[in-house]
Structure 1
Amino acid sequence: MTAQDYDNQLLESVSVRRRRLRDALLFGAQRQRRSLDERVGKAFAGVVIAAVVCAGCVGWSFVSHKVIGNSPYGAPVPSSGQSSPTTAAPSASSSR
């Protein structure tokens, strides 16, 4: 065994010992449940990110609709003060 092999072995054992101590400090007696907890945390983070992206899309759609004033297809949106031709009541003179 050479001196370099001994050094590598020593460094590896120190890193393993540090990892075990860190895991014992962070997770205590429930070290075996760690992998499940990490997966649940990652899944929850994914759901949160998806919700934020969806909320951003809805917010952008709302703001662009209000600021630009156009429908998604490019036709102007009638303002609430005007009545559209399909909802206008027929006049009394045209029915006679």
Structure 2
Amino acid sequence: MTAQDYDDQLLESVSVRRRRLRDALLFGAQRQRRSLDERLGKVLVGVVIAAVVCAGCVGWSFVSHRVIGKSPYGASVTSSRPSESPSPSPSVASSTR
């Protein structure tokens, strides 16, 4: 092992020790339970933020489609009636077996 490896190992052990001391000071005997609660809280906050972003995207899509009058494909909406499809040509021969 090199001196760099020993330095990295020492720094990591000091950071672990500081984190444990901080948790013991802040949370006491229930520090494991509190850290789990903190992680669960962070997950729930992430889910809420994701839901808000999704709702914003859906809302923007609705507003841009209804109020501004743009279709999702970039063409402007001119009429609410669907266009009629042309009828098939009578000269098309059917295939025989």
TM-score normalised by length of structure 2: 0.54
- Which residue of structure 1 lines up, in the alignment, with residue 15 of structure 2? none
- Which residue of structure 1 lines up, in the alignment, with residue 33 of structure 2? 33
Aligned length: 66
How far residue 45 of structure 1 moved from its aligned partner, in angstroms, is 0.4
Provide the rounded CA distance (Å) in 1 between the counterparts of 2:84 and 2:70. 19
Q: Give the aligned CA root-mean-square deviation in angstroms.
A: 2.7
- Which residue of structure 2 lines up, in the alignment, with residue 85 of structure 1? 84
Q: What 5-or-longer segments of structure 1 have no aligned partner? A: 1-15
- Which residue of structure 1 lines up, in the alignment, with residue 27 of structure 2? 23
How far residue 79 of structure 1 moved from its aligned partner, in angstroms, is 3.5
Q: Secondary structure at the match of 1:68?
A: coil
Provide the rounded CA distance (Å) in 2 between the counterparts of 1:50 and 1:34. 24
**Same amino acid, percent of matched pairs:** 68
TM-score normalised by length of structure 1: 0.54
Provide the rounded CA distance (Å) in 1 between the counterparts of 2:49 and 2:77. 32
Runs (4+) off by over 6 Å: none
Query: Which protein has the bigger helix share?
Result: 1
Q: What 5-or-longer segments of structure 2 have no aligned partner? A: 1-20, 91-97
